[in-house]
Amino acid sequence: MSNFRIFTNNPSVAGAYGAIVQPIDGGVGQVFNAVRDAVHLGAELISHPLSGSLKPNESPFKSVLLSTTRGPVQRASLTVIEDAAAVFERLPIKARLYSTQVMADFECVDLDLTRQAMRSLPAGFHTYAETEGGADRHDI
């Protein structure tokens, strides 16, 4: 069993890392809500929910890495996810109809950000790649 999960609404991330993905049905707001709920149960944020140069209302996809540990609420993680949710709520909704290619581009950007976050994980979080048949460390 892995010691981290990826909360995502991105089909490309789910396809690449299915065994450790917590799929979220909905938009970025729903991803943030699910992450916040997990943090309330004791999970710790591993990646920042506002990573990348896209504002959370500009891309329809978001992936966030969390530990699978459960225990006391990690106040720092709770503050970060609540602040990210507040930023998302303050931004105007951009209800655009994107082409299939643009949606694929958004998926690709989020997948790349997720891979970059996984590359920077402390060694203790690489158990998925080493023991669960996930992508090898070069593909993380």
- How much is the pTM? 0.86
* Per-run averaged pLDDT (10 residues), the chain, 140 residues: 90 95 96 97 95 88 94 95 96 84 96 93 63 40
Question: How much is the pLDDT for 87?
Answer: 95
- Whole-number Å distance between alpha carbons of 6 and 19: 10
The reported pLDDT for the residue numbered 34 is 98
Q: Angle at CA 83, nearest 5°, toward 77 and 84? A: 90
pLDDT at position 54, please? 85
